Structure 1
Amino acid sequence: MPYMETTKDTSLVKFMFVDVDPNRCIGCGICELACSFEKTGNKAFNPLKSRIRVLRIPPAFNLAISCRLCEDPPCVRACPRGALRQSENGPIVVNKDKCNGCGWCIKACDFGSITIDPDEKIAIVCDLCERRKGIGVFPGRKIANQACIEWCPEEAIELVSRERLAQKARELTLIKLLSSSRKPE
């Protein structure tokens, strides 16, 4: 199961999700284009069809946002038609036949990672490029099953678990504390 991380206790499995390092993201939008190209079956570069969104706050803050694979996803609970469910691997699955594009899932998402497809008028959300699982990559390209990770020129996007994300936050906090405690000589 490629989108899960197993701990020493093999009964504990953790969902992996797309995470972006804001210190490395330059806001270029290539992740949006790669995602939309993947999701349209290699027919269009349209950021409105992307499952990852670049948030730009001028002058210098950029961050791409994607589904965080919540353990008890509020988007699934909010859907009045039962069109969303969480797969056993973690990604949210949208039943196109049940979804009417009402937008309740969008309002329920704490991360703003669900949108409505402009053509189909149904909810779209990152599925970690489920269709690409197990395919080969072009020679010379980094290996990634997720289009956004594969094509990010700054390597700012990675697949992480919640535990790894928390560990990274603790490490950054420690670095900031240590650097601020040093007195200039």
Structure 2
Amino acid sequence: EYICAWEKEKAFNPLKSRIRTVRLGQIVNIALACRLCEDPPCVAACPVDALEQSEETGVIMVDEDKCTGCGWCIEACDYGAITLHPEKKVVIVCDLCDGDPKCVQWCPEEALDFITPDILAQKARLTAVKKLFRETAPV
């Protein structure tokens, strides 16, 4: 949260972060960020068309001049990935730092990873090949 806020706002204020960290118990922390939905409900929910999804990257872009801070997109997001900027009163959402997420780069525990659809597809193919090999390999 801190590195995100610093990257975007030059402030160490987690309320200005585009990602959220949720603590579950004493050990587990979960990072919440935009899931880049195929048909994003946040975009559909915006009454003033302030949100748009990039066709190229899937990133949700916010037009701050249009956003009224009504919060409809916040309510529509199933992942809690959209928040209201504490001062500007417009919504903020992770934009993946133009493909080089600083949260991943600076995570001290290396617990975050940036997985693209291509990487997911590659992992799925590898899993399928391993499964096929196990099924067809002589014992």
Q: Runs of 5+ in structure 1 lacking a partner?
A: 1-31, 134-144, 172-185
Report whether the alignment pairs 1:100 with 2:55.
no
| Higher mean C-alpha deviation, range 52-61 or range 154-163 | 154-163
Q: Distance in 1 between matches of 2:113 and 2:25?
A: 24
Q: Runs of 5+ in structure 2 lacking a partner?
A: 128-139
Per-residue CA deviation, residues 124-147 of structure 1 (Å, 9 max, x unaligned), is: 0000112xx6xxxxxxxxxxx211
- So what's the TM-score if we normalise by structure 1? 0.62
Per-residue CA deviation, residues 37-60 of structure 1 (Å, 9 max, x unaligned), is: 0001xx211100001100002232
Q: CA RMSD in A?
A: 1.8
Q: Distance in 2 between matches of 1:154 and 1:118?
A: 28
Report whether the alignment pairs 1:149 with 2:104.
yes
Of 24, 32, 40, the residue aligned with 1:65 is 32
More strand by share: 1
Q: Distance in 1 between matches of 2:52 and 2:37?
A: 12
Match of 2:5 in 1: 36
Per-residue CA deviation, residues 19-49 of structure 1 (Å, 9 max, x unaligned), is: xxxxxxxxxxxxx001000001xx2111000
- So what's the TM-score if we normalise by structure 2? 0.81
Q: How many aligned positions are there?
A: 122
Q: Distance in 1 between matches of 2:116 and 2:6?
A: 26
Secondary structure of the 1:148 match is: helix
Match of 1:47 in 2: 14
Match of 2:133 in 1: none
Higher relative contact order (CA 8 A, sep 6+): 1
Q: Distance in 1 between matches of 2:58 and 2:77?
A: 15
The one-letter code matched in structure 1 to 2:94 is C
Deviating above 3 A after TM superposition, structure 1's stretches of 4 or more consecutive aligned residues are: none
Percentage of pairs with the same residue: 57
More helix by share: 2
